[in-house]
A and B are shown apart, each in its own frame.
Chain A
């Protein structure tokens, strides 16, 4: 399973754009990059998934360089409600229902008023 490395914590002021980078040097050809968000006392919530280049949805953008050895989750204009732990996962569902996704330590984002 590809191992991921991301900062333990980050602070940001309200209204700023936040970029959280994740390293995954041994990503495999079939692996996808997925980000989850977790608020205290809640289960993780899927944010975004990508394979290469850039993916954008109503919540965030995901930037993946050509070598795919890292990825950056971009949160535009964060608010206090974006304070959470953000997890980067690398893996996929391979054949015969096999699941290859592992949660790391995550990045604790604190948004400051």
Chain B
């Protein structure tokens, strides 16, 4: 398996624009997580899905952020409108039931909002 695949790897956008980050989890994994990492706040869990259903979105910073998982092989994280403080590295991770606490992370998307 190619692992968790995220796109794009880098994104630079202007404040106010819509940004969509994409993730393809490992086939057969039934959990999908979206994290954000900054120097100030470290790794923060934004939202996670189990069997394509959002379970906990309490980490989503505000209504400008939304996430979807239309099927088992694809998820998006959308920011609309984007703000400079959204600049961070966004990671997607997946896990399979019975796999203990092991989750597999993608390479991340580095988002810069100017």
Contact = CB atoms under 8 A, between A and B. Distances in A.
Contacts of A41: 107-108
Given A34-B101, A44-B105, A92-B101, A99 B91 contact: no
B93 A43 contact: yes
Contacts of B100: 32, 34, 49
Nearest to B56: A99
A43 B31 contact: no
A103 interface: yes
Contact of B101 (A43, A93, A104): A93
Interface in B26-42: 31, 33, 35, 42
A105 B43 CA distance: 8
Interface residues of A, number: 23
- Name B's interface SS: strand
Contacts of A20: none
A98 B55 contact: yes
Interface of A: 32, 34, 41-46, 49, 87, 89, 91-93, 97-99, 101-106
Interface of B: 4, 31, 33, 35, 42-45, 48, 50-51, 55-56, 91, 93, 97, 100-108
24 contacts: A32-B100, A34-B100, A34-B102, A42-B107, A42-B108, A43-B91, A43-B105, A43-B106, A44-B43, A44-B93, A44-B105, A46-B101, A49-B102, A87-B43, A89-B101, A97-B31, A97-B50, A97-B51, A98-B55, A99-B33, A99-B48, A103-B35, A103-B42, A106-B42
